[in-house]
Amino acid sequence: MIKDQKIPDATIERVALYLRPLEDLIKLGVHVISSDRLAEMCKVNPAQVRKDLSYFGGFGVRGVGYNIHDLIFEIKKILASDREWKLGIAGLDDMGMALLQHKNFFKRGYKFVAAFDSDPKKIGQRLPIGLTIQPIRKIKPMAQDLGIEIGVITTSPLQAQVVADMFFDAGIKAILNFSPIHIRRPDCCLVQNVDFSVTLDQLAYRLSKEV
């Protein structure tokens, strides 16, 4: 275990990535894996895998490898994804609905417990998942009642900051933002942006550099 050290963000991202192939392997009845093999599956350097994992403690066995079951357990503990997280979502058009309906989040412990929109035509609609769309003024009371921990924003970009502020005001400390704007936030709060256009721009750049 590397003690007292700041863990690189890149490590956190990679470690989350390791989870998927590991879960697949368990399903296939494989129980042990080497850093070499895991590295190959994730297209990273084997030493990188070992170093990433060693930040959190040495759970491998020399000459053998890592017990996959334990590894999954440890990684989830590290990421704090070994528990349930309660999500609220604002903006229930195509994108919001797709996210809400998606089963993977639920499976991984990310549970939508409330849905908000500002459109009178949407408010009151009952969703397949069992929730009813609420007006945004309910954000604060419901966030507190239900213990919402993460706010997901899929409103139009113009409204995203307003909604973010309502989430923050309701005591929510983290936002996953799908709208293409930079959200201003209090120092105590976290924002993680997902912007597909930026991802496409990166692809376009890399494509154009190819021979």
Ligand X SMILES: NC(=O)c1ccc[n+]([C@@H]2O[C@H](COP(=O)([O-])OP(=O)(O)OC[C@H]3O[C@@H](n4cnc5c(N)ncnc54)[C@H](O)[C@@H]3O)[C@@H](O)[C@H]2O)c1
Partner DNA sequence: ACTTTATTGTGAAATATTGCACATGTATAA
Partner DNA sequence: TTATACATGTGCAATATTTCACAATAAAGT
Q: What is the rounded distance in angstroms from the CA atom of residue 205 to the CA atom of residue 209?
A: 6
Contact 128, 66 (CB under 8 A): no
Which residue lies nearer to a copy of itself by CB, 63 or 188?
188
Cβ 35 to a copy of itself shortest distance, Å: 16
Site string for DNA, 149-168 (x = CB under 7 A): --------------------
Distance CA 34, CA 103 (A): 31
Closest distance between DNA and the C-beta of residue 16, in Å? 14
Beta strands per DSSP E along 97-189? 110-117, 133-135, 150-153, 174-177
Element (H, E) at 33: strand 32-33
d(CA 33, CA 27): 14
Residue with tokens 């997901």: 152
What residues line the site for ligand X (CB under 6 A)?
A: 90-96, 98-99, 102, 104, 116-119, 122, 136, 154-157, 159, 162-163, 178-180, 196
Contact footprint for a copy of itself (CB under 8 A): 9, 12-13, 16-17, 19-21, 41-43, 78-81, 85, 94-95, 97-99, 101-102, 104-105, 108, 110, 149-150, 173-174, 176, 180-182, 188, 190, 192, 194-208, 210
Which residues contribute to the site for DNA (CB under 7 A)?
A: 1-2, 6, 8-11, 33-36, 44-48, 50-51, 53-54, 58-66
